[in-house]
Chain A
Amino acid sequence: QSALTQPASVSGSPGQSITISCTGANTDVGTFNLVSWYQQRPGKAPRLMIYDATERPSGVSNRFSGSKSGSTASLTISGLQAEDEADYYCCSYGGRFNLVFGGGTKLTVL
């Protein structure tokens, strides 16, 4: 199964908002709300930022929000901070008792 499609990179200035998209298919993102987002800083393990497409785990800043429309899920980070610079990955249930990750997006805070 093909990975979910994410932009390779996005950038923004401190204080701005950015959105990272994650495009799947009718068989995965389009059918299920089982989308999660992970932040990975260099040399570190991934961290869960969003689950169930829109839910935020305790301890995650409310500057992070998730949404979904059709076969595309999105992660929005508002009020960008230098510490947000990291790689971001989406993940979805693949529809056949499998999970699939996106290719990852490198966020640069200018």
Chain B
Amino acid sequence: EAQLVESGGGLVQPGKSLRLSCAASGFTFDDYAMHWVRQVPGKGLEWVAGISWNSGMKGYEDSLRGRFTISRDNTKNALYLQMNNLRLEDTALYYCAKDKYSSYDRGFMDVWGQGTLVTVSS
């Protein structure tokens, strides 16, 4: 069974950095694109970033480009999100999601983790 487990969330001060990780199992990781999606508690879903199967294509929500970087290590079946210069408004539950296809731009997320909570506060 395909499974995704996020880690790395926590309490961080504004302006600091944090790296989220997502461990994948139960499927051939390097066949599929991956995504990060976030959700402020009680609010809607927001796509953060996506990466193709071989890291050849990456995309970001416009307002996050330059501060957030998505990457993957297919040898470790792992997805990452490097978040720099964090702001109060980045506080959210961050989900890792697998795409049905190898390119992220279709956005068909068929497996999701349970999320890792990032709280930005002084």
Q: In the complex, what residues of B have CB within 8 A of residue A57's CB? A: 100, 110
Interchain Cβ contacts within 8 Å, total number: 71
The secondary structure that dominates the A interface is strand
Interface window among B10-18, B58-66, B70-78: B58-66
Nearest CB in chain A: distance from B6 CB, A? 10
| Interface band, chain A | 20 to 34
- Looking at the complex, which one of B44, B105, B108 makes contact with A89 (CB distance below 8 Å)? B44
Nearest CB to that of A98 among chain B residues? B59
Selected A-B contacts with CB under 8 Å, 21 pairs:
A45-B95, A45-B112, A45-B113, A46-B109, A46-B112, A47-B112, A52-B108, A57-B100, A91-B47, A91-B107, A92-B107, A93-B106, A97-B57, A99-B50, A99-B104, A99-B105, A99-B107, A100-B47, A101-B37, A101-B44, A102-B44
Interface, chain B (partner A; CB < 8 A): 35, 37, 44-47, 50, 57, 59-62, 95, 97, 100, 104-110, 112-115
